[in-house]
Structure 1
Amino acid sequence: MTVLATLKIIIRSWWRNKVFFIISVVSLAIGLACTNLLFTYFVHDYNIESGNQDKERIFCLRQDNPLQEGRKVDYVTGEIPPMLKEKYVEVEDFLRISSLEPLYCKEGENIFHDITFICVDSTLPHFFQYQTIIGSLEQVLKQPGKIALSETFAHKVFGDNDPLGKIFEIKTTTNTKNYEVAAILKVRSQSLLQFDMITGTDENFFGGTTFLKLSANTSPEQFARKINQDKVPTLVPGKSQYYADPLSTIYFVTPESDSQQSIPYINQSNVQLLYIGLAAALLVLLIACCNYTNMSLSRILQQLKMIHVEKLMGSGLKNIRIQLFGDAFLTVLLAFSLSLLIISDCLSFFNELLASRLNFHFFFSLQMLPLLLLFALIMAIVPAWYISYKLSRLSFSEYKTLYGGRKKQRFIGLLVILQFIISIGLIFATLIANGQIDLIKEKANCYENRIEIGSMFSPPLATLKSELKKNVPGIESIALSAGPILSAWVRELSIRQPDGTEKKSFLLMLFSDADLIKTLDIQQTSGNTPEQIQKEYSHPVLVNESYVRNLVPAGVNPIGKYIKEFDQFADTLSIIGGVVKDFPTSSLESEVTPTIINIPTAEKMPNANYLHIKLNPDTREEAIKKITQTWERMNEGEAFQYTDLHQQFMKMNQKTLSFARILIGYSLIGLLLTCFGLFGISWYATRQRIREISIRKIHGATPWQIIWLLNKPFCWQVIIAYILGIPVVYWLMLHWREQFAYQASLSIADFLLPLAIVWGISAVTVCLQGYLLNQTNPIDSIKTE
């Protein structure tokens, strides 16, 4: 039999059983797409800086964080790296990087915020190779007043126009300076660094992240011990030490301790999301494989009569094997090709979901393409070989005995139960994660429709507050503050425990007028109103419940007490005038920090340079426009910028939000694939039982009795899957919830809803088949069968 003839037989078989074929190919393609996406993301992140030949010799110099015990800080003062290179032969070179933290950058009439602007040593090319599209990187790193733009940022600002020679006015926390564009840098795949602008360092470099290139065969652990023994100065001499950590240490963020600080110019990957996403993708692939197996067995059973006819017509065993092998092999390859099309359409959404940097070309890179092809071949060859080798040797009666009847029903039932377990588990995990998100949203209510204006270098804003209150009707409340809210000043705090030990924590200090409580809708639990407290005390403060719980002895009323009585490092004048409910200023993974809110009058804050504004949601945009106009009129030459406090707070909880989005996405995909599988299986089951059902109808069976007959086995399978799946997922999610200081409560609905959803989907799918079957004439069905 020729290849063309075999291909015709395979295509004819696909067409005869097109329902099974389409379901198996589509579900397998979706499963492969999900798995390939997460697997590629996994490989991409674990091979960070894969093209860097010196990757194994580059280490980040870190030291103990003086403010957080057991954690490290990626900061070294500017004079340490040159001293290490001069003194230790193990250090071949060093690279210092620091963020210039621009408040804004201006090009012509265009103003840009949230720009990552870094300064680096001229040794940058010795550590990370960047290709210039135009211009000279060397000129940027060695000449003052020059900058290089990333390819992405250059296209955003200038489009296809030539940016060389253009001038950016950049205001940082220290000054306002003009920079000339001297180079455009090509995007590096799998780069550790991320930036919009880059310039060279100068003699005033105070400190930042430091990378060391150690000589070959140098042990980073031994080198770190050596410099610690030599007492190289640290941030806290004698109490902290240095570590030489590989690049992966600062790239991968661990979920247990969150020991790595967030560095704006370092690409970082959340290990927890990486593994959870991969696990979810594998579960979806498992559902798809169950569908593929069920559909293939059902389709091949229908083909087997034709195969035995071919045997009687003289077809050889080899030809039959080739036909069966080709059928399964081409089906998987077709599904794999379709999965690549799905990936190309969904890649942008996936990148947004996980904040990843995958591009479609990476799937065809030398790192990924061999792995994907190997995976595709295994998925295609293994089942194809089994089907062709095993089934070609069986007689029709043997096949029916082995794969038909009760034995096949039990096998398909097990696969369906497995699908239900995965679907129920994903839904249950999604509900628990969504509960945590709802708690985050509830805690974030005090920041919704609130914006923050100003910076530590802004002019005094008391006059602006008065103007805004008079001229902008969309403002519901406005507070004058001496600092930000979500990045406020903190100091270390030692809290004595009942057993005599001390727990390290932080004390958050806020300075604002009496309007802050109303602006953030913070509830006060005791004491007089802020306005009354200001009249009663010369230095009034409010404390939160966390402060009282941790610092005030049980049974003691803190109202009217001096702060000094509870904190030996506090000032001697501040008096507690009231207690407010806890409000979060960071991720819910951490407990609310003990907080002191100083509420002096505006006259006592002459240099207060922050405003916190509560906006009416119905007129938010109009109010912001008027605020902008007022700012520009009163602060000529100062670009207006504001921080959306709600967005900033939600960003602090981004890890939880991303986790929930992954579960939601894969739960929906899992349910979709389960629907495909149920439709195909129920379609096959009804076709196999047409004669039986027709006889039952002739003997008076009602449509509802027929539908229940078809639904009954699936109902039992859903219940069995629920009993097996819920305890396992509940145990896993309990471990996930342990990372949060504040956990959402679980309700009975969280436990029952997965069962209701999966049972409802299976019932609707099977009932649809039963309805279509009830429309047929039983006499015609019996004649046909």
Structure 2
Amino acid sequence: MNGNYNRKNVMILNVTLKMILRSWWRNKVFFLVSVASLALGLACTNLLMTYFVHEHGLEGRNPDRDRIVFLRQDDPMNEGKRVAYAAADIPQRLKDSYAEVEDYLRLGKSDMLSCKVDGQKVDGNLILLSADTTLTRFFDYRTAQGSLEQVLHRPDQVALSAACARKLFGGGEAFGRHIEVQSESRGRQTYQVAAVLEERGQSLLRFDMLTAQTSDYWGGPTLLKLSPGADAVRLTDKINADQVPTLMPGQTKYHLDPLEAVCFTTLDDASQQTLDYICQTPVQTLYISLLAAVLILVIACCNYTNMSLSRLLQQLRMIHVEKLMGGTLRSIRLQLFGDAFLTVVLAFILSMLLVNDCLAMFNGLLGSRLTMGFFFSSRMLPWLLVFVLVMSVVPAWYISRRLSRLSFSQYRTLYGGRRKQRFVAVLVTVQFAISIGLLLATLTARRQMRLTERQADRYADCIEIGDGFGAPLAPLKAEIEKRVQGIESVTLSNGPVLNAWIRQLTVKCPDGSEVHTNLLALEGDTSLLHTLRMEQLSGERPARLLEQMARPVLVNESFVRQLVPAGTDPVGRSLREFDAEADDSLAVVAGVVRDFSVNSLEEAVTPLVVSLLSESGLQKAACLQIRLRPESRTEALQQIESVWDEMNPGQPFRYTDMHREFMGRNEKVLSLSHLLTFYALIGLLLTGFGLFGIAWYATRQRIREISIRKVHGATRRQIIWLLNKPFCLYAAVAYVLAMPVAWWLMQRWLEQFAYRAPLSVGIFVWPLVVVWGVSALIVCLQGWMLSRVKAVEAMKNE
């Protein structure tokens, strides 16, 4: 009996599957469009949802996560900001003095100048991190080879991440090999690879090489592990009440902040300390990503709904025939349920294949470390399965439950005619509104990005050699000018530009209050303005100024606004009249230069003093700024490196690409611009898919009407306009709905920038033009194809 029952069920399933496949083939245009748009939408949604979960779940498997805090203190150079720093002896002092501190972990990074394996130089920036032996009591790193405990006790040994081991040694054995590293803090040192670490998902720390802390460690970021039940706020009050030494005793205080305080940067924390060995993600990027995922999914669901309704209207003809031929309600429900369920499951499988292909590009776009393994991990896979089950079971259950009881005429009454037109109009309008909103956001972000790029143009093809602390570089400058071709300008200076000397100033306001600001100081020869393309607004040429004055200085517009009384001309006046703490009593303000940014555009340009020094004043200068000719950049760099190697044997050649450094400081706006551009294009593509399917269905439903119009003399242009008119109306309504919301959101985003790109009229017109253009192109193509059909033949077929 059971055998017959099972065979009957198998036969029903086979017949149902055949009917589903036959339906897919018969309506292949609708099926392909709905599956493609749903797969693309699910891929984007899965990718962004997984990114959100991954970043929010850093150290999610660490049982001590909630007890680990960053020891931070007030930044003496940026009022209201905090810096993750403690002197070398402070953590041990805290552990000895307070029972709430169970353990501590001090971290340090060595700026790597070069890395060699078997005498061959390895290209790429590698992070060499040093840590205390307590690292394993904070984080559960597992080794594929060797012992991490041994590495943390031996400063001459190193542990490699799995990715670094592959990069340095390919498929060869890494354990026991030697790596020659030269860094600024440790000099030249050879490390033995004593451990290779397994990949650790959602790790707080990011590094390529890990070694032990040395005895000359002077301070850096510190993590504390608190005792169970310890109150971080009360402990902070105790530490500050006991006046534990800070960077500026009596003026700055300590803070015990959770991991999120350092890992997630906020809009009001523009100058938060950047630690490239700590996973740090802008909060706005996380939530904009999540919002984009929802919007893309909405567009995909609108497409799927439109296509499903259109396809089911045709499919119900066959179902009605099945009813007349004796088909049971159970078999019809199973067919409807299976059709919708398998469509979503197929789209989900295709979406995961798309994710696999796009993951590397996505990681490069946002600087994330997602892997396909995380998608199938216990932290993510259950959510993805629940998501796809809801997406597949709920619509399938509704369709099978609702439509299986309807006759064909009842379905035409409920889902056809004007009711279906209104429903389609709502879905299309929603798609248009989302596309218009994404386009406006993209154009706004790209305009801000172009403003950033214009500010960065002054640093294009500029490199910087030295940091101001090394040996004098005047001889190197002379040799470079003599031997290297392809150089536009060379400047000898006392320090770097993008990391210029900073001094804090107290500015008195007219109302008697005081405001703290920073003062940047640059010291260089007379070619400094030309090399950095500074625009001089007043004063003589730099070379002329040195002939006229002993200590000429130039100030920027911000200096004049903040430090010079209104209506006062600073040119020709002593610098000390405006800056009482100026070191040089002979310094005279000889001119004003236009403001230019050295940091993110989120920060206002600070007051700047440029000291022009003679050759005698630059004898100990240890920094060079060089502007290369773009057409011979590569050759010039090679020649400069050759000169360096001759004059500084044994010291690796290192330079800073000033343009890349400046753009890196504005990475947030660049990442957001690229992200929004990517998803605006995806949104337009999905909207195009939906319009194609809707237009395909609409034109074929109106063949008889259009044929009659043609018989009565309607032209091809009139027919195309007839089909386009409703979509133009939908786009206009969507524009009115979307524009105020998108404009308000982007205004809020722009508030974080001290310098904002102006929003022109075109930025509000282009989204509507693009959406109109896409819809017109697709609908016109369908109308043109339909207008070529002979009226008599079309009416015969109908």
TM-score by shorter chain over 0.5: yes
Deviations 1:89-144 (A, max 9, x none): 22221111112223333442315564322221111100112222222222221123
Q: CA deviation at 1:397?
A: 2.0
1:9 pairs with 2:9:
no
Instruction: Tell me which moved more, 286-295 or 201-210.
Output: 201-210
Partner of 1:471: 483
Q: How many angstroms apart in 1 are the aligned matches of 2:410 and 2:452? A: 60
Q: How does 1:594-613 map to 2 (within 5 A)?
A: 594-613=607-626
Instruction: Tell me which moved more, 388-397 or 73-82.
Output: 388-397
Q: How many angstroms apart in 2 are the aligned matches of 1:548 and 1:177? A: 49
Q: CA deviation at 1:152?
A: 1.8
1:320 pairs with 2:332:
yes
Instruction: Indicate which of 35, 44, 47 corresponds to 1:37.
Output: 47
Q: CA deviation at 1:715?
A: 0.8
Instruction: Tell me which moved more, 473-482 or 392-401.
Output: 392-401
CA distance 1:160–1:456, change in 2 (3 Å): farther
Q: CA deviation at 1:490?
A: 0.7
Partner of 1:162: 173
Q: How many angstroms apart in 1 are the aligned matches of 2:124 and 2:97? A: 41
Deviations 1:454-475 (A, max 9, x none): 2344321111112211222200
Deviations 1:473-516 (A, max 9, x none): 20011101111111111111222223222222111111111111
1:732 pairs with 2:731:
no
Instruction: Indicate which of 53, 56, 65 corresponds to 1:46.
Output: 56
Q: How many angstroms apart in 2 are the aligned matches of 1:241 and 1:465? A: 45
Structure 2 residue runs of 5 or longer lacking an equivalent are 1-10
Q: How many angstroms apart in 2 are the aligned matches of 1:149 and 1:573? A: 54
Instruction: Indicate which of 664, 669, 673 corresponds to 2:677.
Output: 664
The list of structure 1 runs, each at least 4 consecutive aligned residues, that deviate by more than 4 angstroms after superposition, is: none
Instruction: Indicate which of 507, 510, 528 corresponds to 2:519.
Output: 507
Instruction: Indicate which of 503, 521, 531 corresponds to 2:543.
Output: 531
Instruction: Indicate which of 614, 631, 648 corresponds to 2:661.
Output: 648
1:205 pairs with 2:245:
no
Partner of 1:743: 756
Deviations 1:29-68 (A, max 9, x none): 0000000000001111111012212212211111222222
Secondary structure at the aligned position of 1:237 is classed as: coil
1:783 pairs with 2:793:
no
Contact 2:113 2:181 in 1 (8 A): no
Deviations 1:527-547 (A, max 9, x none): 011111112221221111111
Q: How many angstroms apart in 2 are the aligned matches of 1:311 and 1:498? A: 88
Contact 2:114 2:121 in 1 (8 A): no
1:458 pairs with 2:457:
no
Secondary structure at the aligned position of 1:420 is classed as: helix
Q: CA deviation at 1:259?
A: 5.7
Q: How many angstroms apart in 1 are the aligned matches of 2:244 and 2:628? A: 52
Q: How many angstroms apart in 2 are the aligned matches of 1:49 and 1:144? A: 27
Q: CA deviation at 1:247?
A: 1.5
Q: How does 1:762-777 map to 2 (within 5 A)?
A: 762-777=775-790
Q: How many angstroms apart in 2 are the aligned matches of 1:325 and 1:609? A: 75
Q: How many angstroms apart in 2 are the aligned matches of 1:202 and 1:621? A: 38
Q: CA deviation at 1:254?
A: 1.3
Q: How many angstroms apart in 2 are the aligned matches of 1:759 and 1:86? A: 70
CA distance 1:456–1:713, change in 2 (3 Å): same
Instruction: Indicate which of 637, 641, 648 corresponds to 1:628.
Output: 641
Deviations 1:279-298 (A, max 9, x none): 11211111110000000001
Q: CA deviation at 1:171?
A: 2.8
CA distance 1:481–1:206, change in 2 (3 Å): same
Contact 2:180 2:188 in 1 (8 A): no
Q: CA deviation at 1:203?
A: 2.9
Contact 1:85 1:94 in 2 (8 A): yes
Instruction: Indicate which of 716, 721, 727 corresponds to 1:708.
Output: 721
Q: CA deviation at 1:757?
A: 0.7
Q: How does 1:6-405 map to 2 (within 5 A)?
A: 6-107=16-117, 108-110=119-121, 112=123, 114-163=125-174, 164-173=176-185, 175-258=187-270, 260-405=272-417
Partner of 1:423: 435
Q: How many angstroms apart in 2 are the aligned matches of 1:26 and 1:701? A: 36
Partner of 1:573: 586
Instruction: Tell me which moved more, 310-319 or 72-81.
Output: 310-319
CA distance 1:169–1:355, change in 2 (3 Å): closer
Q: CA deviation at 1:173?
A: 4.0
Q: CA deviation at 1:178?
A: 3.4
Contact 1:423 1:671 in 2 (8 A): yes
Instruction: State the aligned residue count.
Output: 785
Q: How many angstroms apart in 2 are the aligned matches of 1:297 and 1:741? A: 50
Deviations 1:283-324 (A, max 9, x none): 111111000000000111111121111111111222211111
Contact 2:12 2:331 in 1 (8 A): no
Q: How many angstroms apart in 1 are the aligned matches of 2:739 and 2:575? A: 50
Q: How many angstroms apart in 1 are the aligned matches of 2:418 and 2:106? A: 70
Contact 2:52 2:289 in 1 (8 A): no
Secondary structure at the aligned position of 1:724 is classed as: helix
Secondary structure at the aligned position of 2:775 is classed as: helix
Contact 1:72 1:259 in 2 (8 A): no
Q: How many angstroms apart in 1 are the aligned matches of 2:416 and 2:124? A: 67
Contact 2:270 2:603 in 1 (8 A): no
Contact 1:104 1:113 in 2 (8 A): no
Deviations 1:145-180 (A, max 9, x none): 222222222222222233324141323146433333
CA distance 1:106–1:455, change in 2 (3 Å): farther
Deviations 1:218-239 (A, max 9, x none): 1212222222223222222233
Partner of 2:733: 720
Instruction: Tell me which moved more, 744-753 or 763-772.
Output: 744-753
Q: How many angstroms apart in 2 are the aligned matches of 1:147 and 1:375? A: 43
Contact 2:599 2:665 in 1 (8 A): yes
Partner of 1:520: 532
Q: CA deviation at 1:680?
A: 0.4
Contact 1:103 1:173 in 2 (8 A): no
Instruction: Tell me which moved more, 4-13 or 394-403.
Output: 394-403
1:679 pairs with 2:689:
no
Q: How many angstroms apart in 2 are the aligned matches of 1:202 and 1:634? A: 31
Q: How many angstroms apart in 2 are the aligned matches of 1:205 and 1:128? A: 21
Percent of aligned positions that are identical: 54
Instruction: Tell me which moved more, 612-621 or 497-506.
Output: 497-506
The normalised TM-score by structure 2 is: 0.96
Deviations 1:241-262 (A, max 9, x none): 2222222221111122236311
Q: How many angstroms apart in 1 are the aligned matches of 2:79 and 2:44? A: 40
Secondary structure at the aligned position of 2:216 is classed as: coil
The normalised TM-score by structure 1 is: 0.98
Q: How many angstroms apart in 2 are the aligned matches of 1:161 and 1:495? A: 61
Note the aligned Cα RMSD (angstroms): 1.4
Instruction: Indicate which of 593, 603, 619 corresponds to 2:632.
Output: 619
Contact 1:104 1:172 in 2 (8 A): no
1:330 alignment partner AA: L
1:62 alignment partner AA: R
